[in-house]
């Protein structure tokens, strides 16, 4: 999932740099910059969650279950956000076969329900923590 998130984000940023509207790249528009910055922050948080869960596995930590829930829930939410924003920022062409960005949105939905959606994982995290 993290690889799909990263690829979707990079393709979207590249599109924002190359697509021109009114004689300037659309990535220069402030509203799109803010949305791209939000995506960047979420991608970085997801990377951190995955690295922490992998480190716990390497160290045979007793927190593997909690960190796996945390990482998967974060990836679900981030993949959903980044793929939705990618399609939106590509405009109408985002859902055509000419660009593959729509594939990431479809794939994010499948991944989200594989091995637990975010609500299930947050509940599981709470149960593991004793709530």
Q: What is the pLDDT of residue 20?
A: 78
Average pLDDT over residues 71-92: 93
Cβ atoms < 10 Å from Cβ of 82:
26
> What's the predicted TM-score (pTM) here?
0.90
- Cα(113)–Cα(3) distance, integer angstroms: 17
Could you tell me the domains of the chain?
A: 2-129 (1.20.140.10)
Average pLDDT over residues 85-105: 82
pLDDT tops 90 at residue 98: no
Question: pLDDT digits over 13-68, tens only?
Answer: 999 999 878 888 888 788 999 999 999 999 999 999 999 999 999 999 999 999 99
Compute the distance between CA of residue 46 and CA of residue 75 in angstroms, rounded to an integer: 6
CA distance 131 to 116: 19
Considering only 25-34, 94-103, 122-131, which range has the smallest mean pLDDT? 94-103
DSSP sequence for 37-103? HHHHHHHHHHHHHHHHHHHHHHTT-TTHHHHHHHHHHHHHHHHHHHHHHHHHHHGGGGGSTTSTHHH
Size of the chain, expressed as the number of residues it contains: 131
| CB-based burial label for 19 (10 Å; 0-12, 13-18, 19+) | middle
100-114 pLDDT, tens digit each: 888 999 999 999 999
């Amino acid at each position: 999932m993290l690889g799909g998130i990263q690829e979707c984000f990079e393709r979207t940023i590249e599109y924002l740099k190359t697509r021109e509207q009114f004689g300037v790249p659309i990535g220069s528009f402030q509203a799109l910059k803010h949305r791209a910055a939000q995506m960047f922050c979420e991608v970085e948080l997801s990377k951190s969650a995955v690295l922490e869960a992998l480190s716990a596995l390497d160290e045979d930590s007793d927190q593997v279950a909690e960190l796996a829930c945390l990482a998967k829930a974060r990836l679900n939410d981030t993949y959903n956000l980044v793929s939705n924003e990618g399609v939106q920022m590509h405009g109408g062409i985002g859902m055509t076969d000419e660009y593959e960005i729509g594939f990431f949105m479809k794939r994010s939905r499948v991944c989200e329900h594989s091995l637990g959606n975010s609500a299930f994982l947050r509940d599981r995290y709470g149960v593991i923590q004793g709530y």
